[in-house]
């Protein structure tokens, strides 16, 4: 396959159509790291007029400028989101889709579902003997919804003209933006995952990524002139240009040339769905989120379980939190598109019910974890989620937006439309595939099987929190809030979106943490399958050891595997907008302190080369998406190689990360 993957796009899909399913997940399925650099901004003295948080300072500034020109939170979100699709094209853009939770100034809530949908020709078994077809090429592409979603929200809630909110992103694409460390890493990883240098060797990609014949480097100015023209046409003529006009013709021609089945009718017929808002109470707060096929219920149900516990020591609280998370992820397997799966609303209501949360607490043992079957008796799994981008905005009038978009894996389907510069999603891979068990032998979840027009299950979890006037009110579905905005939160990072969002919420709601400190706290992740809990490197070793003592299979993960954006509104109306500011060259985001959930200490990454004569921590390069350092072993907390440490690979002379999928990690050649 590596030789085949070096073929031009014009021949690639001919080989992929005959490729059998692989026994183990490829690299793209195990590498969903997220990094956020300079993501936040404010408006007005003391930050009282509005706030924007995204993955790009350039894009956040567009949102702030739109607020300053009289726009509201929806205007700021649309402008920021379109810019993110320009700069963060590896995981976002108009070739994808997403979900948005919008709070209007009157306190009413709306969930806008513009998730990609399966084309009319899609069917349940279409990838049974062609798994790679769900990842690369035209057959992997679901009908994109981002522009429909943004236009719907703007038409209903926005205040500035459509052209005014779209054109700033077009200008960024035309004038250019600097290539960041983040983009360099994703370009390298994208090439590695594809198996060939498509960014340089494919003419469509090379126009943007290698205009001089070599891949763009850190600090170079990248332009996306075709994408700029696409956005400009949409700004001036409306989104029908994209769904029924010349832009649609170009898209369908390319997709069908690469084995795709999407038609012009699929594009023209795509519609936004306005879904029910779900909500629950938590210790005097009211939490609102989006239901299936997104994953708000998984996040809120975990917090509902934790609400019933009294204060305890950090290690016990962490264990209980993990157990509650495992129950919630177990229920996640039964969720899907409500139009195709019966009783989704009933299931979500049960997940948020106080009595159900009490039953879960009774099933949690304080001294040990339990087998997977205890949390998920059906023994099924859902497809893993991948790269995403999150934006949060708020204004002084009470309007707020929490929104996540995606094109799924890095650079989506690896198809760029030559005429428009649009990168197409591979969202069909988010469906479960019949007959394809995961690496632990579990069957795929029938609730997420492919159907024509269906939308795949997503980990996207937008949340808005209010100070509740009636904290005792029942959980369930409601479209109207009565309190004051307290926080707007969401995350990027595939399946880690849910766990990251709930932990930040726990910190600000339970511990009254600032948004800054809540997002900086070390995080853990346990999605039940694989049966393992992952800890960021900044977790205290003794805390992790306490989890291992309770029977948890523990391992480590880098701090950039998820990225949370959040806004907190103080009692005086001041906005605090924050996102984790991680860098490839740091291992700790802040000084250690006791968080009440976990303690933070500065622990270097578990990927280290033999220090030899250079033991000063010099950065050497990347191993997959994980940085490799030359570490001073005495300072790293790792044992000497002569002690037979299970993390020491004597042949490679490296320390390696503790993981159940070591075979998916590639070491550099000596």
Segment (H or E) for 124: none
Per-residue pLDDT of 73-114, as tens digits, reads 999 999 999 999 999 999 999 999 999 999 999 999 999 999
Cβ(369)–Cβ(322) under 8 Å? yes
Is the pLDDT at 561 greater than 50? The verdict is yes
Residues 447, 256 contacting (CB under 8 angstroms): no
Q: How confident is the model at residue 29 (pLDDT cuts 50, 70, 90)?
A: very low
Cis peptide before 530 (omega within 30 of 0): yes
pLDDT at 52 over 90: yes
Banded model confidence at residue 72, pLDDT cuts 50, 70, 90: very high
pLDDT single digits (tens) 226-272 = 999 999 999 999 999 999 999 999 999 999 999 999 999 999 999 99
Q: Smallest Cα–Cα separation from 424: which of 174, 240, 217, 257?
A: 257
Q: Which long-range contacts (CB under 8 A, 24 or more apart) does 530-535 make?
A: 530/439, 530/440, 530/660, 530/661, 531/371, 531/372, 531/440, 532/660, 533/322, 534/561
pLDDT score for 632: 28
Predicted local distance difference test score (pLDDT) of residue 483: 78
Interatomic CA distance for residues 523 and 649, integer angstroms: 27
Please list the active-site residues: 388
Looking at residue 2, what is its pLDDT?
Answer: 35
Residues facing 579 on adjacent strands = 565
Place 476 in a pLDDT band, splitting at 50, 70 and 90.
low
DSSP per-residue string spanning 480-541: B--SEEEEEEEEESTTHHHHHHHHHHHHHHHS---HHHHHHS--EE--SSSS-EEEETTB-H
- Predicted local distance difference test score (pLDDT) of residue 669: 24
CB 422 within 8 A of CB 239: no
Residue by residue, DSSP assigns 603-637 as ---S-EE--TT--S--EEEEETTEEEEE--HHHHT
Domains with residue ranges and CATH for the chain: 2-274+390-433 (no CATH), 276-383+460-579 (1.10.246.130), 608-664 (no CATH)
Tell me: the pLDDT tens digits for 294-331? 999 999 999 999 999 988 888 999 999 999 999 999 88
Angle between helices 354-363 and 296-307 (to 10 degrees): 70
71-85, 161-175, 287-301, 329-343: segment of lowest average pLDDT: 329-343
| Cα 320 to Cα 365: distance, rounded to the nearest angstrom | 8
Lowest model confidence (mean pLDDT) among 54-58, 175-179, 257-261: 54-58
Q: What is the pLDDT of residues 113-128, one digit of tens each?
A: 999 999 999 999 999 8
pLDDT of 349 over the 80 cut: yes
Which of 6-20, 58-72, 197-211, 474-488 shows the lowest per-residue confidence on average (mean pLDDT)?
6-20
Candidates 134, 626, 181; CA nearest to 409 is: 134
What b/e string do you get for 292-328 counting C-beta neighbours within 10 Å, with b at 16 or more?
bbbbbbbbbbbbbbbbebeeeebbebbbbbbbbbbbb
Which residue from 659, 495, 641, 489 is spatially nearest to 568, judged by alpha carbons? 489
Query: If you average pLDDT over every residue of the chain, what do you get?
Result: 80
- Indicate the range of 111-125, 271-285, 656-670 predicted with least confidence: 656-670
Over residues 44-50, mean pLDDT: 66
Q: How does residue 377 score in pLDDT terms, banded at 50, 70 and 90?
A: low
Nearest CA to 586 among 635, 538, 517, 523?
538
Given this model, what pLDDT does residue 403 score? 97
First to last CA, the chain: 24
Distance CA 535, CA 558 (A): 8
At residue 35, does pLDDT exceed 90?
A: no
Instruction: Show the tokens assigned to 550.
Output: 């309770």
* pLDDT, tens only, 435-451: 876 444 456 888 999 99
Closest by alpha carbon to 262, among 437, 461, 125, 452? Answer: 452
Find, among 503, 576, 575, the residue nearest to 535 by Cα.
503
Q: How confident is the model at residue 494 (pLDDT cuts 50, 70, 90)?
A: confident
> Residue 34: which pLDDT band, with cuts at 50, 70 and 90?
very low
* Helix boundaries (H) for 98-197: 146-157, 162-175, 181-194
Residues 568-625: pLDDT tens digits?
A: 999 888 999 886 544 222 222 222 223 334 333 222 333 333 333 333 333 333 223 3
Backbone angles phi, psi at 478, to 5 degrees: -150, 150
Indicate left, alpha or beta for 105 from its phi (over 0: left) and psi (-120 to 50: alpha): alpha
Does residue 642 carry a pLDDT above 80? no
Residue appearing with tokens 């290539």: 179
Would you state the pLDDT for residue 493? 83
The radius of gyration of the chain from alpha carbons, rounded to an integer in Å, stands at: 23
């Amino acid at each position: 396959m590596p030789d085949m993957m070096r073929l031009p796009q014009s021949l690639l899909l001919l080989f992929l159509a005959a490729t059998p399913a692989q026994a183990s997940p490829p690299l793209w399925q195990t590498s969903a790291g997220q990094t956020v650099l300079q993501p936040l901004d404010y408006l007005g003295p003391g930050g009282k007029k509005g706030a924007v948080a995204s993955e790009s300072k350039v894009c956040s500034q567009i949102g702030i400028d739109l607020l300053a020109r009289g726009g509201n939170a929806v205007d700021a979100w649309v402008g920021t989101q379109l810019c993110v699709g320009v700069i963060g094209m590896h995981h976002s853009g108009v070739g994808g889709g997403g979900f948005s939770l919008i709070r209007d100034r009157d306190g009413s809530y709306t969930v806008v579902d513009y998730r990609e949908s399966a084309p009319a020709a899609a069917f349940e078994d279409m990838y049974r003997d062609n798994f790679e077809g769900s990842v690369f090429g035209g057959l992997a592409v679901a009908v994109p919804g981002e522009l429909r979603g943004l236009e719907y929200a703007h038409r209903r809630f926005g205040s500035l003209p459509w052209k005014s909110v779209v054109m700033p992103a077009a200008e960024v694409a035309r004038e250019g933006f600097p290539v960041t460390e983040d983009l360099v890493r994703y370009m390298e990883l994208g090439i590695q995952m594809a198996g060939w240098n498509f960014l340089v060797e494919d003419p469509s990609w090379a126009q943007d990524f290698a205009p001089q014949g070599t891949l763009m480097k850190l600090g170079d100015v990248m332009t996306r002139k075709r994408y700029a023209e696409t956005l400009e046409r949409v700004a001036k003529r409306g989104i029908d240009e994209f769904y029924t006009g010349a832009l649609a013709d170009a898209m369908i021609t390319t997709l069908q040339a690469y084995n795709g089945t999407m038609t012009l009718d699929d594009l023209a017929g795509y519609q936004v769905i306005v879904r029910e808002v779900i909500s629950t109470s938590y210790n005097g707060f009211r939490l609102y989120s989006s239901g299936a096929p997104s994953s708000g219920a998984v996040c809120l149900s975990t917090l509902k379980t934790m609400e019933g516990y009294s204060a305890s020591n950090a290690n016990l609280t962490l264990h209980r939190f993990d157990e509650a998370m495992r129950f919630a992820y177990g229920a996640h397997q039964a969720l899907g598109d409500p139009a195709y799966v019966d009783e989704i609303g009933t299931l979500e209501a049960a997940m948020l019910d106080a009595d159900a949360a009490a039953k879960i607490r009774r099933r949690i043992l304080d001294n040990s974890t339990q087998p997977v079957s205890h949390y998920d008796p059906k023994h099924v799994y859902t497809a893993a989620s991948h790269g995403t981008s999150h934006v949060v905005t708020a204004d002084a009038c009470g309007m707020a937006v929490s929104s996540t978009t995606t094109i799924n894996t890095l650079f989506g389907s690896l198809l760029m439309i030559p005429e428009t510069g649009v990168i197409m999603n591979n969202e069909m891979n988010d469906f479960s595939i019949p007959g394809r068990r995961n690496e632990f032998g579990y069957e795929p979840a029938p609730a997420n099987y492919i159907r024509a027009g269906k939308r795949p299950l997503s980990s996207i979890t937008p949340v808005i929190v209010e100070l509740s006037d009636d904290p005792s009110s029942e959980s369930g579905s409601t479209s109207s809030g009565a309190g004051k905005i307290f926080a707007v939160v969401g995350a990027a990072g595939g399946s880690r979106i849910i766990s990251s969002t709930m932990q930040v919420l726990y910190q600000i709601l339970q511990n009254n943490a600032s948004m800054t400190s809540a997002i900086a706290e070390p995080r853990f992740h346990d999605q039940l399958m694989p049966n393992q809990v992952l800890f960021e490197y900044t977790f205290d070793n003794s805390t992790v050891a306490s989890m291992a003592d309770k029977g948890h299979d523990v391992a480590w993960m880098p701090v950039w595997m998820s990225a949370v954006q959040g806004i907190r509104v103080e009692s005086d109306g001041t906005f605090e907008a924050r996102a984790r500011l991680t860098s490839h060259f740091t291992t700790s985001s802040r000084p250690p302190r006791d968080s009440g959930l976990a303690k933070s200490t500065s622990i270097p990454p578990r990927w280290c080369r033999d220090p030899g004569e250079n033991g000063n921590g010099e950065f050497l390069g990347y191993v997959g998406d994980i940085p490799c350092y030359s570490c001073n072993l005495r300072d790293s907390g790792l044992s000497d190689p002569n002690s037979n440490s299970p993390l020491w690979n004597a042949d490679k002379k490296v320390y390696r990360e503790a993981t159940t999928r070591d075979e998916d990690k590639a070491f550099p050649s000596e």
